[in-house]
Structure 1
């Protein structure tokens, strides 16, 4: 006769998952607003983050890493180059290829965006949550970490 409690637990987990997805999506949007990403598309932001994380790359390796076709990544790169966020240089190993990398101004912009998001979230936590609530949130963060561990 454990069917009812199991069903209740499954329904509770489903509702919790739905609420968590919605909440994290809203938090992500609020953080994005603080970074002043501007008119960059998710694909453009993803390419910038990939270059920041992995270092210089060719357009074809970026396309592979991002799960895009090479012809689809070309316009993304063109916009980023024209905005002064990415620059290209000949690949020392193969001069026929171009290695793309973040410009210094892009690195500074990324760093400033992260600082703005961190500052907003810190101020918001302090303003809206008591120290006890912050402790409870810290415990919840530990649980969330367990959800994404391999």
Structure 2
């Protein structure tokens, strides 16, 4: 039988609630903008490239916490459907940088925009001004958790 560590400050219950709420929000927003023909891991890599700019496959793997080989497969699949390109790294010719194509950027922006709009609508409809302010102040802590 596995025992859970004790968290007298309520961190374990907070973690459970946050995980479940985050999963529900992801499902709701995913439905608002589902890119056709792109897996979740591929979409995540596209989102990272949009946010970070060109990266090596190894850097993408590190950000996503996956093996470089797995990210290599993801990048190859994205390149095959024209979402990313690989170019020589101008500072180190032994490496390649992965970057979004115009098509890849358009897909990411379209799906991200639809998801953001869906979540913004929910925030506006379901939360009062005080709750929106609380949510805004909690975002800094959530972003630190994510890093």
TM-score normalised by the chain length of structure 2: 0.72
1:100 maps onto 2:95 in alignment: no
Match 1:80 to one of 78, 81, 95: 78
Shift of 1:88: 1.8
1-structure distance, mates of 2:12, 2:63: 32
2-structure distance, mates of 1:143, 1:42: 29
SS at match of 2:97: strand
Alignment RMSD, CA only?
3.1
SS at match of 2:28: helix
* Number of the residue aligned with 1:3: none
Shift of 1:11: 8.1
* Number of the residue aligned with 1:19: 17
SS at match of 1:99: strand
Gaps of 5+ in 2: 1-7
Match 2:141 to one of 130, 147, 150: 147
Change (3 A) 1:115 1:19: same
Change (3 A) 1:69 1:24: closer
Residues 19-53 of structure 1: per-residue CA shift (max 9 Å, x gap)? 33212210111111212134533432332222222
SS at match of 2:128: helix
Given that 2:87 and 2:97 are in contact with CA atoms closer than 8 Å, whether structure 1 keeps it comes out as yes
* Number of the residue aligned with 1:53: 51
1-structure distance, mates of 2:134, 2:59: 38
1-structure distance, mates of 2:81, 2:73: 12
TM-score normalised by the chain length of structure 1: 0.71
Change (3 A) 1:58 1:29: same
Give the structure with the higher percent helix: 1
* Number of the residue aligned with 1:136: 130
Given that 2:46 and 2:108 are in contact with CA atoms closer than 8 Å, whether structure 1 keeps it comes out as no
